[in-house]
Structure 1
Amino acid sequence: MHLLVNIFSESWQLLLEASAYILFGILIGGLLKVFLSPSYVARHLGQGRYSSVLKAALLGIPLPLCSCGVLPAAAALKRQGANNGATTAFLISTPESGVDSISVSYALLDPIMTVARPLAALISALIAGCIENTFNPPRPQLAMAADLSCAVDGCCSGIDCPPAEHANHHSFPEKIRAGMTYAFGELWGDLAGWFFAGVLLAGMISALVPDDLITTYLGGGLLTMLLMLAFGIPLYICATASTPIAAAMILKGVSPGAALVFLLVGPATNMATLSVLVGLLGKRATAVYLSCIGITAVIFGLTLDWVYAAYGISAKAVIGQAGEIIPYPLQLAAALLILALSIRPLVATIRRRLRKKADGAETGCGCSGGCEDHGEKDKTT
């Protein structure tokens, strides 16, 4: 009983930390739906085996979204025609970096770590996206099949209506309302079930893994990187919040390379993210995502330690502490709002699965919506 209480307590804490970022990510996803032209996405992120990956990776570097907040935005991109490789690259580069985390890295760490962090994020995103599109090449007919109709109310098909004419069909407030309706309805409905399943799994890991193991025997070397990798993959922590922890680790004797592994893996992976990715991209793409993050993080960690040692640079971080970005009352309000928004899609998902199971037509699909991209996604599984 005590263990169950600890698991739910840890899950609740994770929900508190993630909810505000999830809401922000949902908002971004809704705005992308109505303001980012589907034809532009289909043209730049849906076609081109490698150019689309580069564009998606560069797009994600400055965005201040964590591994949970990036999910709705990535889902919106994919539904508008982005291929699996581009979506994978966006999912990696976005949470590992961001204008906020870069600025905090400069304040609490040092210029080398500040440059290494987004550089490693970019390279790992490019590798993962290119591998995915190499083994699962984008199919032009699927990319061009993206929904080009008006995202506000479907007033035109997007093909027969000139863009200049359609730009005058709807006011800015109408577009905002349509984006929010999509974001907190269909978009979050597709992700809610996967997200809460991952939160519970993350709570189990957080309750069972002692905290002091993370900073034990992490002085440097391959074993240190692998240990940090093992600890960082299942845990949820945002890029900005991970920075002061990394600084404290370095002050305690953890190598800068090991700290970099934590900075890359922690924000980009957690059980909630991985469970959603299986539903969004498929098992193979999720395996590519996780493998590329882990391998490139270890390589960059070892390389960074070599740089510090070769040039005799001290890794001691600037003493400081980043303040709480989101106060507890806002965290609580965001968590309660997420729970309220999730009741309807979770109930609908449970009913649909029970109905499919009763009919003998269970497909394993984790989406709550129309799942237009299943034809492509099934190729990855």
Structure 2
Amino acid sequence: MSFLSDFRAMMIGILLESFPFVLLGIIISALLQTLISDQTLQRWIPKKTIPGILFGCLLGILFPLCECGIIPVVHRLIRKGMPPYIGIVFMMAGPIINPVVFTSTFVAFRTHPEMAIARIALAFAVAAVIGLWAAWRVRDTALRTPLNNAHEHVAAASAGSKRQIPVKAPKPAWKNKFHDTLEHAVIEMFDVGKYLVLGATVTALLQTVVSKEWIVALSEGNWTPHLFMMGLSYVLSICSTADSFVGVTFIPDFSLGSVLAFLVFGAMLDIKSTLMLLKVFRFKTVATVMAISAVIVLLSTVAFDHLYS
């Protein structure tokens, strides 16, 4: 009974913590769909690769979302014409490079203010490297539903409507836009929500099985603590706006570098976000993003420990 009680409490807690940020992302996604035209978005996005990567890294300042809420926004932006590589960069950097997360990290690590700066710097580096790879390798075919099919569907529907109604349709009133926004939000909520519930179920199950004594035993060594903290952050799936207050509790037993690995890797990738990512991108693309992120975070945080030892 105790196991079931802990499992139920953990799952509900994860859902309650994640749902507001997912809802925020869905609302922004719906607003992007109805209020910002494809042509407007195309004018904003840089055409060259390096400015596009910088744009993706810093977009989180305008959209301060955690890893739960950012995926619906990225999905919608790509559908509206954003290149997939910029969407991936925003997806990786946005949950960390934003004012809300920087403030929470700085407050949590008051005695180690360098952690807030190191977290943003490492997130920027990881996102930039992934952006260079994605600009070279990732195309529209990396999406679960290729954009070409969606564009053909829209074009066909548009052509059909033109045949039926030769007169140009009037611009929709604000009531129609409000209705369209709600409709898109409801569809997106049911689409993303099932992945969130599945991820929360797996996360709660793992959290109730792992022993705390076993966790402390893994704090020794040069590589083991970093690998463990990365895996732990992936499993715990704590939103990036709150994970700093969990990570700081490991400071007495774990090194600053391993805690930094916890803060960066888990904010970019966790069980919930991986399941939701697989809704947008194909498995090969998601697996490659995870591998690149893990290698860079591991090597960088081990080097961080050597610098501060």
What TM-score comes out, normalization by structure 2 length? 0.81
Q: Is the 8 A contact 2:67 2:269 kept in 1?
A: yes
What is the Cα deviation at residue 261 of structure 1? 0.7
- For 1:291 and 1:51, the matched residues in 2 are separated by 24
Assess if the C-alpha contact under 8 Å between 1:46 and 1:52 holds in 2: yes
Once the two structures are TM-superposed, the CA of residue 179 in structure 1 deviates from its matched residue by: 2.0
Distance in 2 (CA, whole Å) between partners of 1:180 and 1:220 is 52
**Pair 1:241-2:230 in alignment:** no
Q: Distance in 1 between matches of 2:214 and 2:41?
A: 44
Q: In the TM superposition, what whole-angstrom CA distance separates every residue of 1:10-31 from its partner, at most 9, and x where no partner exists?
A: 3222111111111111111112
SS of aligned partner of 1:86 = helix
- What amino acid is the match of 1:241? A
Q: Helix, strand or coil: the match of 1:239?
A: coil
Within-5 A mapping of 1:333-348: none
Tell me the SS of whatever aligns to 1:233.
helix
Q: 1:292 maps to which residue?
A: 292
1:47 Cα shift? 5.9
Larger relative helix fraction: 2
Pick closer, same or farther for the CA change 1:147–1:87 going to 2, 3 Å.
farther
Alignment of 1:236-315 (within 5 A): 236-250=237-251, 252-309=252-309
Correspondence list, 1:35-54, <5 A: 35-42=35-42, 48=48, 51-54=51-54
- 1:202 Cα deviation after fit: 1.6
8 Å CA contact 2:126, 2:296 repeated in 1: yes
* CA distance in structure 2 between the aligned counterparts of 1:220 and 1:177, rounded to whole angstroms: 57
> 1: CA distance between counterparts of 2:152 and 2:93?
24
Contact kept in structure 2, 1:108 and 1:244, CA below 8 Å: yes
Give the alignment's TM-score, normalised by structure 1. 0.67
Identity of aligned residues (%): 21
- Partners of 1:48 and 1:142 lie apart in 2 by 22
Tell me the CA shift for residue 296 of structure 1: 2.1
User: 1:114 maps to what in 2?
Assistant: 116
Aligned residue for 1:254, secondary structure, equals coil
Identify if the C-alpha distance between structure 1 residues 181 and 296 changes in structure 2 by more than 3 Å, giving closer, same or farther: same
What is the deviation of 1:192? 2.5
Name the SS of the counterpart of 1:21 in structure 2. Answer: helix
Q: Which of 108, 125, 128 matches 1:126?
A: 128
Q: CA deviation at 1:80?
A: 1.3
Per the TM alignment, residue 42 of structure 1 is displaced from its structure 2 partner at its CA by: 4.5
| One-letter identity of the residue aligned with 1:232 | S
> Is the 2:53–2:86 Cα contact (8 Å) retained in structure 1?
yes
Secondary structure at the residue paired with 1:194? Answer: helix
State the distance in 2 between where 1:147 and 1:35 align: 21
1:243 to partner: Cα distance? 1.3
Distance (whole Å) between structure 2 residues aligned to residue 173 and residue 294 of structure 1: 46
Give the match for residue 196 of structure 1.
Answer: 197
**Cα shift at 1:6:** 4.3
Letter in structure 1 aligned against 2:202? L
Q: 1:145-199: CA deviations, max 9, x gaps?
A: 49999xxxxx99xxxxxxxxx9xx45556544432321122x2233233222222
AA partner of residue 122 (structure 1): F
1:25 counterpart residue number:
25
Contact 1:66–1:95 (Cα < 8 Å) also in 2: yes
Task: Give me the whole-angstrom Cα distance separating, in 2, the residues matched to 1:74 and 1:264.
Answer: 19
Contact 1:220–1:254 (8 Å) recurs in 2: no
CA distance in 1, matches of 2:268, 2:213: 22
Q: Which runs of 5+ in 1 are unaligned?
A: 150-154, 157-165, 310-381
1:144 positional shift: 11
2:100 aligned with 1:64, yes or no?
Answer: no
Q: Describe the superposition over 1:57-81 as per-residue Cα deviations: whole angstroms up to 9, x where unpaired.
A: 2212553211211122112112212
Tell me, in whole angstroms, the C-alpha distance in 2 between the residues paired with 1:147 and 1:36: 20
Q: Which residue identity lines up with residue 19 of structure 1 in the other structure?
A: F
- Give the CA deviation at 1:211: 4.1
For 1:38 and 1:147, locate their aligned partners in 2 and report how far apart those are by CA, in whole Å: 16
1:90-101 aligned at under 5 Å gives the runs 90-101=90-101
Q: Is the 8 A contact 1:61 1:118 kept in 2?
A: no
What secondary structure does 1:95 align onto? coil
